[in-house]
């Protein structure tokens, strides 16, 4: 079964989407529509901006969303997924690509989400760290024992978890996780403690916007980060999208469930190839390819 997966924040690169814009008139039309909706020329930042420009959450998220969704649109009739999934932000790209959200509504929600997350990160400073070489259970136990906010945020693949929390909490957790045998505890250059309780103000703002947006039944199941199951009911999809901001991204579990449901061929749509690498680490027997 053919599955399409959509990357999240961190996959961006300078010049992303420029070839699409130049070579495909339908893609160019969608990019220009996005500039109008957002009220600024995000294409200028995507095509000509610096890495620092693209690292701003309010730019990163809509940029990756646009790159992914427009790639799916350019496939036309060849885009026939049996199921889809997205990593964090990528879930919005997946939902638009399979008709659960319109392009316009999806972009507006992503931009509101990005602004809310950036503001929450400024108001309640925090960070994230990638932990390599420990079991999920060990990471969960050590985080739970820290006298501060620290939680598992991304279950990326076996032996790779990203934790999220306060600055002091992450420092304490990294020290204890290294002592417990972690191969690496690498702090990430992010704008906040995403997928942790520190994102609660952003979750509340996003909830209001999502409840005011029309969702439709997707053409195939969407394996969501929160439930790890293939969802098709609009109200369930909405609820999980809201919960996602303060809940962990269960990518490992989602991929395992898709494979159990028959997924064998994964295509990553969007900048980079991070998801292909994670999927291969989760199950080396499936095929992966990308389109960026």
CA–CA separation, 90 vs 189, rounded Å? 19
* DSSP 3-state percent helix, strand, coil across the chain (nearest 5): 50, 15, 35
Told to judge if 195 belongs to the known catalytic residues of this protein, a careful annotator would answer yes
CA–CA separation, 86 vs 38, rounded Å? 22
DSSP string, 98-154: TTSS-HHHHHHHHHHHHHHHHHHHHHS--EEEEEESS-HHHHHHHHHTSSS-EEEEE
Match 């990160």 to its residue by tokens: 121
Beta partners for residue 290, in sequence order: 268
Residue 207 Cα to chain centre, angstroms = 17
What b/e sequence results for 179-210 when a residue is b if at least 16 CB atoms lie within 10 Å of its CB, and e otherwise?
A: ebebeebeeeebbbbbbbbbbebbbebbbebb
Residue 246 is encoded by which pair of tokens?
């303060």
CA–CA separation, 124 vs 204, rounded Å? 15
| Catalytic-role residue among 195, 227, 240, 292 | 195
| Catalytic-role residue among 67, 68, 87, 88 | 88
Exposed/middle/buried for residue 57 (C-beta within 10 Å: 0-12, 13-18, 19+): buried
Told to judge if 67 belongs to the known catalytic residues of this protein, a careful annotator would answer no
* Residues designated as active site: 88, 195
């Amino acid at each position: 079964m053919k599955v399409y997966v959509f990357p999240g924040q961190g996959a961006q690169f300078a010049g992303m989407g420029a070839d699409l814009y130049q070579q495909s008139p339908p893609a160019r039309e969608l990019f220009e529509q996005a500039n109008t909706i957002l009220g600024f020329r995000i294409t200028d930042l995507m095509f000509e901006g610096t890495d620092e420009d693209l690292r701003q959450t309010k730019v990163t998220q809509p940029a990756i969303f646009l790159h992914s969704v427009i790639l799916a649109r350019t496939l036309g009739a060849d885009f026939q997924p049996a199921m889809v999934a997205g990593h964090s932000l990528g879930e919005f790209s997946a939902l638009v690509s399979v008709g659960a959200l319109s392009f316009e509504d999806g972009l507006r929600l992503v931009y509101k989400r990005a602004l809310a997350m950036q503001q929450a990160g400024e108001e309640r400073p925090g960070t994230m760290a990638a932990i390599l070489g420990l079991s999920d259970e060990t990471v969960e136990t050590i985080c739970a024992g820290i006298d501060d906010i620290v939680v598992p945020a991304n279950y990326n693949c076996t032996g790779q978890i990203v934790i999220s929390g306060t600055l002091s909490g992450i420092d304490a957790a990294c020290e204890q996780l290294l002592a417990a045998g972690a191969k690496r505890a690498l702090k990430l250059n992010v704008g906040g403690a995403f997928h942790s309780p520190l994102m609660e103000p952003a979750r509340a703002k996003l909830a209001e916007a999502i409840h005011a947006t029309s969702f439709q039944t997707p053409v195939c199941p969407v394996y969501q980060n929160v439930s790890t199951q293939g969802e098709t009911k609009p109200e369930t999809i909405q609820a999980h999208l809201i919960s996602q901001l303060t809940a962990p991204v269960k990518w490992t579990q989602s991929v395992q469930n898709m494979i159990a449901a028959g997924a064998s061929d994964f295509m990553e749509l969007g900048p980079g190839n991070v998801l292909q690498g994670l999927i291969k680490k989760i199950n080396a027997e499936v095929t992966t390819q990308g389109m960026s």
